[in-house]
Chains A and B, each alone.
Chain A
């Protein structure tokens, strides 16, 4: 589009070139611009205007070679310049022709131009006014716009507020809706629960109905069962009655069975008895026979006893004879053996006697023999000594031989080593010789090659072939060397192995020889070892006997140990026995000791008490001293009791005394006699009317109870002899006598 603009402008330039009025250009440009309003916006138009002005200024300056405003396309510019130049040339030609036309038109144009100017000014004014109006309108509109914008902003704020409110309300609404939903859900749940509960209620009611039905059925069943129970009860009673009758009958049955058994037993006994009776009958029938037999048997018995005695005697004789027989047989056997021995001894004697002839020595008597034996023994001793010395020397020689053999072995091994080394050296020598040969051969080959090289140096054509051959030959030689070296190495290894094997074989041969020699020596010394073997066997037997004895001892000791461990024995060096200090046995012992001590102390106290009581001392003091084991309470009580008893005693004594005195006084006054007890059975009576104070009568109780009394003779009784004779001797009444006496004394008193 830009290019089009340029081309368009340039065409315009061609047409308007004649006019130099910039204002005309500008007017035309304005017209153009108006015409091109529908084209792109004013800015581009103004920019193109600037560029066009620039171009025009440039065109005004010159034509040739001007700097075109900056345009990117170089080729086009070049073409354009060419064209421009062409056109300029053409234009110059045309311009001149057109100058004239233009001057003509110029005048017309000036007129029209003025008119147009006026119109344009008018239009401009109107346009300015319009423009002002429009500017005012614009401003109004702008103010309005501002107002509206302000309102809009307000409205937007309000909207925002409203929106916020709306949001908050929505939120609250949402919360409310949620709550509503929850409540609705709860309601729904409640409704569900209500329905469930209603269902449960219905089920329960149904269950209740069912259970009531069941109840009624069960009641009916119960009634039936009760009736059945009654029936069963009645049956049971009947059954019990039957059972009782059955039991009675069973008891009867049992009794009858017992009776039957008894009867059966009796029957069997009777059968036995019958059988026995039959046997007895048969036996009785046999009785006379038996008697006869008895007699015979007794006779035979007597006969047999006699025979037995005879037999006994005979047996003794027989035994004696047998013993004698045995003895005689033994004696015979001994005789026979003695004869055999005798013969042997005779033979020996003869042989001994012949010895003289056989040995050629002067042996006639055993003394000579003994002397010979002694001599032989001495010789034997000597020989044994020699033997021992010889055996020692033999051993020494054997040791030396063994040492020598070992040395021989060593030397042989050394020999073998030497041989091996020599062989190795020989092998080395051979290898070296072979190498030498090979080296010489190589050298010869190399020399030949060199000679060939020298002879054939000139042809250059063959040089590469020769070089190649040389190289090949060298390589072959190297390979051969390497192969050779490997072969030599293998050879050496093999030779070494062979040498080792040979050495081993020779060593083994040497050992074999040594063993063979040893075997031969061992065979010689077998009979020496036989003695040792026998001795060893004897030792073994002795040791085995000892071992068996020791085993028996061991067993017995183990038994004892077992028994002791059972009894509780232990090894004092390794174990010790512990027990609790406060163990029950010691506690019981302690208790026992304490009880014993207590009992002893009590015993002693009681003995002292008894002694004291027997002695009759005051109980209180002794109780206090001795009865310390009694509790003080008991002591106080006993003291109180004792005091009370003593008080009672004293009171009783006083009362008795007063009563006795009263009674005696009464008796004295009523009877007239005072009765005193002088000694054990003697009573002294003094009358109330006695003339003298010493006048008294003495009575003695003959019996212990005092039933019969006898009067004793004293001076006063002599004065009243008549009364005594009358009342006591004749009347035999003491009361009459006493009363007569009182009467007489009273009469004497009153009279006198």
Chain B
């Protein structure tokens, strides 16, 4: 457990990381380093995106499954690690 906390701290201190959000499988955030409104917004929107992405991948081949999702935008990059019970979002701006 301490190791997980340590890893999260290391991730937070990586270059350009703007925030980390951990949410459960329904899109309710359970841990976050952003402010409340942003957290809720990210969690809800990313949850929708995840459902769509996962269903896309699995519709093409049901034996396949989504393991990682990266959304690169002009200002930053949103990286999403999904799972059955949770999903982890990290927002990074690497040119910071």
Q: Does chain A bind chain B?
A: no
